[in-house]
Each structure stands twice: as C-alpha cells, then as structure tokens.
C-alpha cells in the first residue's frame, strides 16, 4: 500500500495542474453548443450573466412553467373584496365605489375576533397554497437550476450523498430552510400589505399589543404604547437587514424542527457507505426538495401572514378615524433601485396586460406571484452556489493513511472518466458463496450490491461481453478504459458489450456495514472470483433485458491489469465454463510474502546513471545508519531533515523516489514525471539546490567515511542533490498533515486506524496483502551479493507493521492459497499473459527474469512489451496524437484484438457443434427411446 502512494501524488499534481473544472466547458455560444456537441453546459452558469440565459432554455422553462401555471390557475379563482367573494369582474364594477382606486387605498377595520375569511386567507391561501407552490418551486429548482449537482451529473462517479460535498442533501436542506424563510418573509410582507390596501383581508384586532420591549422591537413597534405606530417604509439597507434578520430568526426553529427529521428520513431510505449515506435514484433530491419545501411553506407562511395582519391591527387602532393611506413598501437595496412589488405603487408600471394586473391585485394571484419571485431568487442563489463550489473536494471524508493517500483520496490508478454518460448499475450477489468453508463462519445468507458500468456503444446482437475488472481500486478509476482504452478496441472489433466490474469491498460494493476484522472475513480472492462467476451467470443488462446475455450462452472475456490481471487469470482457470477467455496484463499470478524484487526493475532499467548512483548513495547511508557510533545515524538523518524518524521510517521515506518507476506511462495523461526528475537529480554532478551548498563539507566527510574518496567530488554533489530532493518532497508533503509531528506524518506506526467504509480501498487491500497476497517491499531481503536500491533498514517487520497494529494479524499471509493455482508457472488455454519488460511487478509474473521463455500462440498468447511498464496495453487515447501509442503498444493491442476474434470464432464452432450433437441425441431418443 505504501508504494501506491506515489500514484496518489501523481494524481494530486495532475489535478492541481488542470485548474478549475469550469475550464473544461466550451465558451458560451460556441459552435459545439449550437450543434449539440461536446460537453453539456453547466446550468448554474446560465444564471451568472443575463446573456447566458439564451443558452439555457431548459432550466428557465423548468423553473418558470409551474409558477406561471399556478399564477394562471389561482388567478382565475374567486376574488375577495371587503371580505366577501365577488361573482366576477362585471359584478365587481357595479354599485358604489368599493372597487375604485380611492376605496382600494383604505384598509378595513380590525376584526374583534378571528373571522372565517381571515382563517381562509391565512391557512388556505397562504398555508396550503404556499405549500403547493413552495413544494413545486423547490422541485423545479432541484430539477432545473441545480441540475449540475443532481440530474445531469454522473451519480455513479459522484453519488448523491447525505453529508459529503459536492452532492450533499443535508447541506441542501439547511440552505433551503434558511433561504426560503428569508425570501418568503420579504414576499409575504409585500403581499399582505398589498392585500390590506386592496381591502382583500381584515387586520387582526383581537390581540393586544405586547408590553415587553423585545417583543415590541420584534414587531417594529415604538418603545411605548402611547406612541403612534407608523407604517413601515423600508427604504435603506439597514431596514432590509432588519427584515432579513426576522426571516432568519423564523428559520432557526424551522431548521430545528425540520432538518433533523429530514436527515432522519434520508438515513432511513439511503444506503450506508462509510460515515455517509448514498442514493442511487436521481429523483431523490427532487422528491426530497418537493416535500421539504412544501412542509416549510405550510408551517412558515401562515405565521408570517399572522405577523403582518396582527401588526396591521395594532397600527389601525392607533390611526382609527384618520384617512387611510395607501401602503407603499419600497425595498431599495444599497446597490440598485429594484422594486420587487411594483403593483403596490399608485400607478403600477408592469409589462403585463390589464388582465394580468387584475390577477396580481387579488390575494390568489399575489400569492402565486410569490412563488414566482421566490423561485427566481432561489434559482439565482442556488445556481450560483452550485457553479462555484471550489471547496467541495476538500471537505469530503479523508480515507487515506499518512501523506500519500491524503493527497489521493479514493482515486484509483487511472484518471477520472470524461463522460457522464456511463451509468453505474448493481447486481445483487451473495455475501457468502461457500457455506461449507469454516473460515467464513458465521456464515451469511445475505446479498449485497455489486457495482458495474455498462457501455453498449458498439454492441451487435450475438456479440461477446468484455469485462474489465477493477481489481484493488474503486471502479470509477477504470471508466476511461470503457471510452478510449482496450475495452472499446475489443468491443468495436467484435460487436461486444463493454463493462467495468467492481471488486467486493471496494468502491460501493461493500457486503458489510463496516470493515472490522470480523466483517473482513468475506474479503478473499476466492469469494471475489465467485462474484464474477455469479455475475456472468445471472446479470440482466439495463436496456437489453429482452436478450439472454448470460454465460455460458454468451462468450465472456475478462481483462485485468496488475492484481486484476491475476484475478482475470484465476477466473479463467477456476470458472472456464463461465469465462471463455481472459487477458492478464501485468498479472501478479505469484503471491510473494517479502517482495524485495520490487526494485530490481529499477536496478536494471533506471535511466542513465540513476541506478548505480542510488546504489552507492544507499550504501553510504547504510554505513552511517548501522555504524557502531549512534551519532553517525543521527548525523545522516539530520542531513535529510528527518532526525526524528526511526531507522526503518527514515528508510521508507527515502524509498519513495525510485518507486515511481511503476507509474511511468506512454500516455501523457498517465505519466509520472517525478520519477524522471528524481533520477536526473541524483545523477547530476552539478549542484541543483542552493539550500544544500553549505552542507558540502559535512557530506564530503560522510562520503569519505564510506570509503569513496576516489569518487568523493562526484558523490558529494549527488548526495547533496539527493538531500535537496528529499527535503523538498518532505516539505511539500507535510502540508497535507499540518499540526502533526514528523513521525505522525510519515511513519506507518501512526497510520490512521478506521473501520468505517470511508477507510476506503487502502484498508481492504491491506487486509488482502496481510492474509493472502503479501508483497511487503523491503531492502532487508536483497541478497548480500548486490548493492540494494533502498536501505536495508527498510525491514520486513516495518513493512508488515500495519497488519499487526490495524488488523491484529500476526501470521504471515497464506500465499500458498494463491500459488497452488500456478504461481510463476501459470498457464491455461485462452489465457493471454502480457507484461512490460520494465515493470517492477514482472518478478511476480510468468515473465519473471530467469524463467524460461514460452512460445506465444493464439491459444495461449505470451507477450512481453519492450520498454513497457505496468499494463501499458490497457491505455488508449481520446484523440489521435502523432507517434502515440508507441509502436510496441500498438502491436500488442493489435494482437489482442486478433486472438480475441479467434477465440470467438472457436466459441461459434463449439456452439454449432454442441447444437448438432444435441439435435442428434434428440433424434436418437425419438427413434430408440431413452437408454
């Protein structure tokens, strides 16, 4: 696991170099958008500038249509005038001047008790009507303006979560409650004032004024009862803030009442994943917002209406007998003269026909317009928030140990998929396939969701199923290979289905609620292989349910790289009736307990003078570490700025640079540039770090102490560069564990111990290495007849320390459970073994140096890619680049396509032969009867 951290650093640096995610989207109005090509435009960005609304008709229609529909329906409802319903516009114009502009400016007298009309106004128009419109508006917002977070985003790659950003329903609920309460407060203030002026409702006069000064301040009342109450004219920023504070105050009890209940319900319907809950149904946010917005409107809107009606009653008592005046509520913000309620001015200037103005002058229409205003404001705010959430990736759960994993999170050893079109699906598979095996006791009869991704772009009926197994990483990291890697090459040539299948205990495919040692008992390669077989026998692919694409009737070809390569080989050997063929790329078919051979590839193939230089520098360092004088060890560790570390911890930190060979790649998107920089740095005779120049005398003494006087000048400069490189890397990596000591940051003895699912793939792979696979990289195990590439202080005891400290596993891994199936001599018909000549994992494969070469045939391909490293044949390019892939990779991929096609032809011949034999047997039985 420690050596996977180099990959994490690569991914972190690549992410930092790519800049903001919004840079990946085309500019507004580009040809690709006009033709519907390229990426989908992020909807919230439509609200950043008015001109962008022209390119976002869908969110605008989704948001505005339900509001306008509600405005039309409610606007046709019965209108109220002086507390009595009218029979239409014609009848309202008859009689005295009740409906004239003059009388409409006068308020009605306060009621001496709550009338049915007031109750209808408060609880039906404002309560139920507010519930319907607020729920609909929130639904539209969730579906429209926030589509970048929910509807159009790849929820397989970024599942909808309860707590973790960017898709957080709990945070969405909190923001919805606060924003809706504040916006509704302003809207309700204007609407009640309008309805009072239009004589559509009576003020409430049956409640006495409060005497407590805080309550009087809450209701905007003067300090003393004898002082006249003036009508509100909020014309300053301070007044607006006072109103906003009251809306926020109402949101606090609403939050306390609704947010815990909402979170409780969401935890009940969600699927637990680590310390969070995830939701696979994309309609979950919309339905959730519909219910939450509706309940919030039902509970808060009547309270706001009562607030303003009661205050109007107190105001009317102070001004009884005086000529009523028209209420004008003008909210003039500090930066604009926007008037949110223009119909309350003496001469409304609305760009609406007279009928529209008439609709807005009665409570139903005004209440509907409230939903429209709330929707527009909320869409603007939430859309902007969704588009500008740069903090999201940094606020998620940390699932890593020490520095390397903290930088990589749960990313797999591949870049994220570019397309959101590849959706995740699940197949329910048994937790325990082997009820006769005592090591799985207590047995389980439960099932769990095994995740997979499907691409049917090139599928033709009768084609094969190409399975790419994700191995020891979450499946998301393998998705690019469904788009422009080995999988589409094979599916295009064969008319097949392509899919990525996730390994149990990785990604979201957890059969248990946590990863305690007891719950990890079902994490064995044997159980995972049975998952793959069960999948092929039972899966029904979405959109292709009418076809039986299960094995053995459909040929299944499995591909894997690294551990997944060994997994593919084992699948073919143990389930030959299910998987017709397999390709094992860099497959580690031999499990090795102490894997000192990891650095042998670098010893043979490191560029330039890197390897011999590192061997000599390591000998110098070990001479100081193992000297009889303990001060020598302190001196060498202090030289690198790592004096606090134990010897084995110090050796582990120094090994980080050369381990980067595994992550070099021909693909510019995948290449690990730091490895080449590292080698060039330590092999240079020029001083590359000015900060180490003053250390030259001390380093010269250390070099001389090791007996390298003849090469003193050259090795001194190279050691100084080595020191500068390590110091720079340590300083950079320490930023990811601020507040921790040097040992807490870099020592496996202080690795974070978590048992929840957020611990991620690191804990799962740690368990597999501690129990079955091994691969504990050391310098201690290097034969004494050669100089090691890393310090011999890197011991087996330190490499296995997390097995004991985190899993309480003290026994060595059972590598025989794997090696008995073939190990270095692994072979099987229709199994391709492909390796890179410079792969650090080559020593654990049938291509290990020293083993006899094999003849490569169509039946059993056996290929070694010159200059290749770790499963180089798996990669592909999205766009054509001259000179890429390298010709040896192109040749390997061409041969893979050819022998897979040959395997499928053999499958067709076998199927026809089987059909003919079956027909012959049926005819024989018909003539002779059963034997």
DSSP assignments along 140-178, one per residue: HHHHTTTTTTTTSS-TTTS-EESSSSSSBHHHHHHHHHH
Q: Report d(CA 180, CA 258) in Å as an integer.
A: 13
For this structure, is 126 an active site residue?
no
Active-site residue identified among 126, 432, 449, 839? 839
Nearest to 650 by CA among 637, 639, 638, 659: 637
pTM of the model: 0.60
> Angle formed by the axes of helices 673-682 and 5-18, to 10°?
110
CB neighbours of residue 425 within 10 Å: 17
Please state, in angstroms and rounded to a whole number, the distance separating the CA atoms of residues 826 and 589.
7
* Residue ranges in 341-494 assigned as alpha helix (H): 354-360, 363-387, 402-408, 480-484, 486-494
Helices (H), 45-160: 57-75, 89-92, 101-104, 116-119, 129-143
| Coil, strand or helix at 826 | coil
Distance CA 783, CA 800 (A): 20
* Confidence (pLDDT) at 84: 41
Report how far residue 384's alpha carbon sits from residue 372's, in angstroms, rounded to the nearest whole number.
Answer: 18
Taking Cα atoms as reference points, which of 290, 215, 286 lies closest to residue 246? 215
Pick from 586, 651, 627, 461: nearest CA to 841: 586
Residues 425, 452: contact at Cβ < 8 Å?
yes
User: Is 111 in contact with 118 (CB distance < 8 Å)?
Assistant: yes
What length is written for the chain? 931
Cα separation, 55 vs 48, in Å, equals: 12
* DSSP for residue 127: I
760 SS3 class: helix
Burial class (CB in 10 A: 0-12, 13-18, 19+), 51: exposed
Q: Which helix (H) or strand (E) covers residue 642, if one does?
A: none
Residue 203 contacts residue 289 (beta carbons within 8 Å)? no
3-state SS class at 168: strand
Query: Which positions of the chain have pLDDT values less than 50?
Result: 1-4, 6-62, 68-69, 71-104, 145-148, 151-152, 156-157, 321-360, 379-419
pLDDT at 193: 81
Question: 167, 564, 166, 164: which is closest to 399 by C-alpha?
Answer: 164
Q: Tell me which of 562, 586, 655, 747 is the catalytic residue.
A: 562
Work out whether the CA dihedral 786, 790, 793, 794 comes out positive or negative: negative
Cα–Cα dist 654/598, whole Å: 15
pLDDT for position 330? 38
Residues 6+ away with beta carbon under 8 Å from 161: 167, 168, 169, 276, 277, 278, 279
332-376: pLDDT as tens digits? 333 333 333 333 333 333 333 444 444 445 555 555 555 555 555
Asked if 411 contacts 14 with a C-beta cutoff of 8 angstroms, the reply is no
Q: What is the pLDDT of residue 436?
A: 93
162 neighbors 168 (Cβ within 8 angstroms):
yes
839 is catalytic: yes
β-strands 774-776, 592-594 pairing: parallel
Domains and CATH numbers, the chain: 58-86+120-316+327-389 (no CATH), 424-591+815-875 (3.40.50.1820), 594-810 (no CATH)
Q: What is the pLDDT of residues 870-908, one digit of tens each?
A: 999 999 998 888 899 999 999 999 999 999 999 999 999
DSSP for 775-844, written as a single string: EE--STTS-TTS--SS-TTS-HHHHTHHHHHHH---SPP-THHHHTT-GGG---TTEEEEEETT-TTGGG
pLDDT digits (tens, 9 = 90+) for 674-728: 899 999 999 999 999 999 999 999 999 999 999 999 999 999 999 999 999 999 9
């Amino acid at each position: 696991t420690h050596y996977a951290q180099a990959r994490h650093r690569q991914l972190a640096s690549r992410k930092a170099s790519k800049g903001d995610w919004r840079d990946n989207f085309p500019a507004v109005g580009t040809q690709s958008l006009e033709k519907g090509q390229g990426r989908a435009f992020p909807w919230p960005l439509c609200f950043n500038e008015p001109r962008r609304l022209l390119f976002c008709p869908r969110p605008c229609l989704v948001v505005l249509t339900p509001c306008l529909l509600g405005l039309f329906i409610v606007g046709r409802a019965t209108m109220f005038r002086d507390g009595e319903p009218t029979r239409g516009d014609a009848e309202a114009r008859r009689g005295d001047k009740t409906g004239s502009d003059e009388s409409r400016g006068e308020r009605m007298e306060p009621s001496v008790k709550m009338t049915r009309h007031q109750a209808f106004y408060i609880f039906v128009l404002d309560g139920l009507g507010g519930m319907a419109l607020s729920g609909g508006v929130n639904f539209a917002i969730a579906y429209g303006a926030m589509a970048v977070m929910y509807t159009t985003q790849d929820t397989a790659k970024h599942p909808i979560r309860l707590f973790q950003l960017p898709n957080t329903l709990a945070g969405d609920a909190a923001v919805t409650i606060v924003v809706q309460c504040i916006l509704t407060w302003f809207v309700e203030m204007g609407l009640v004032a309008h309805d009072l002026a239009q004589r559509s409702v009576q003020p409430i006069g049956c409640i006495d004024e409060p005497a407590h000064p805080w309550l009087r301040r809450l209701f905007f009342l003067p300090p003393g009862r004898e002082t006249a109450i003036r009508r509100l004219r909020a014309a300053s920023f301070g007044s607006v803030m006072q109103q906003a504070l009251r809306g926020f105050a109402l949101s606090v009890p609403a939050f306390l009442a609704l947010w815990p209940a909402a979170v409780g319900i969401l935890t009940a319907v969600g699927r637990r994943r680590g310390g969070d809950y995830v939701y696979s149904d994309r309609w979950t946010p919309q339905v959730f917002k519909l219910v939450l917005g509706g309940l919030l409107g039902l509970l808060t809107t009547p309270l706001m209406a009562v607030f303003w009606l009661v205050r109007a009653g107190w105001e009317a008592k102070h001004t009884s007998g005086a000529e009523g005046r028209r209420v004008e509520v003008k909210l003039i913000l500090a930066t604009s003269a926007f008037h949110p309620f223009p119909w309350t001015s003496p001469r409304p200037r609305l760009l609406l026909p007279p009928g529209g103005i008439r609709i807005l002058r009665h409570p139903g229409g005004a209440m509907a317009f409230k939903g429209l205003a709330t929707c527009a404001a909320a869409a603007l705010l939430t859309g902007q928030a969704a588009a500008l959430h740069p903090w999201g990736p940094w606020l998620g759960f940390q699932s890593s140990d020490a520095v390397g994993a903290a930088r990589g999170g749960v990313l797999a050893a591949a870049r994220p998929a570019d397309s959101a079109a590849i959706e995740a699906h699940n197949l329910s598979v048994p937790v325990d396939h082997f009820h006769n095996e005592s090591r799985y006791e207590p047995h389980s009869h439960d099932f769990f969701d095994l995740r997979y991704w499907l691409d049917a772009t090139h599928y033709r009926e009768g084609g094969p199923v190409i399975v790419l197994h994700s191995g020891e990483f979450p499946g998301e990291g393998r998705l690019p290979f469904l788009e422009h890697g080995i999988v589409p090459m094979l599916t295009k040539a064969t008319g097949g289905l392509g899919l990525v299948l996730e390994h149990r205990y990785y990604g979201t495919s957890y059969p248990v609620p946590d990863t305690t040692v007891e719950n990890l008992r079902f994490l064995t390669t044997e159980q995972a292989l049975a998952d793959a077989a069960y999948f092929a026998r039972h899966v029904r692919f979405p959109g292709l349910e009418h076809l039986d694409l299960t094995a053995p009737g459909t040929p299944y070809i499995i591909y894997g790289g690294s551990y997944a390569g060994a997994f593919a080989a084992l699948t073919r050997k143990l389930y030959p009736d299910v998987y017709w063929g397999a390709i094992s790329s860099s497959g580690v078919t031999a499990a090795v307990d102490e894997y000192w051979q990891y650095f042998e590839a670098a010893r043979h193939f490191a560029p330039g003078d890197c390897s011999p230089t590192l061997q000599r520098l390591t000998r110098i360092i070990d001479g100081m570490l193992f000297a009889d004088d303990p001060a020598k060890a302190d001196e060498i560790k202090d030289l690198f700025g790592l004096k606090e570390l134990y010897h084995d911890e110090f050796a582990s930190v120094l090994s980080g640079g050369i381990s980067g060979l595994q992550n070099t790649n021909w693909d510019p998107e995948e290449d690990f540039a730091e490895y080449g920089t590292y080698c060039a740095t330590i092999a240079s005779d020029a001083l590359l770090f000015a900060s180490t120049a003053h250390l030259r005398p001390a380093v010269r003494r250390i070099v001389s102490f090791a007996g390298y006087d003849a090469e003193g000048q050259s090795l001194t400069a190279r050691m100084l560069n080595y020191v500068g490189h390590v110091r720079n890397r340590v300083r950079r990596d320490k930023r990811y564990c601020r507040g921790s000591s040097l040992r807490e940051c870099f020592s496996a003895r202080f690795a974070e111990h978590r048992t929840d699912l957020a611990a991620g793939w690191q804990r799962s792979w740690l368990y597999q290495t501690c129990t079955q696979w091994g691969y504990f990289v050391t310098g201690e195990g290097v034969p004494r007849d050669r100089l090691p590439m890393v310090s011999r202080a890197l011991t087996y005891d330190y490499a296995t320390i997390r097995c004991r400290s985190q899993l309480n596993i003290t026994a060595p891994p059972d590598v025989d459970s794997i090696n008995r199936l073939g190990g270095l001599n692994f072979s099987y018909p229709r199994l391709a073994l492909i390796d890179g000549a410079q792969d650090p994992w080559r020593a654990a494969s049938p291509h290990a140096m020293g083993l006899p070469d094999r003849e490569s045939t169509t039946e059993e391909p056996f290929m070694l890619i010159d200059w290749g490293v770790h499963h180089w044949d798996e990669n592909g390019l999205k766009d054509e680049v001259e000179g890429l892939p390298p010709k040896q990779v192109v040749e390997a991929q061409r041969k893979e396509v050819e022998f897979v096609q040959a395997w499928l032809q053999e499958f067709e011949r076998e199927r026809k032969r089987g059909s003919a034999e079956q027909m012959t047997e049926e005819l024989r039985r018909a003539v002779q009867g059963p034997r």
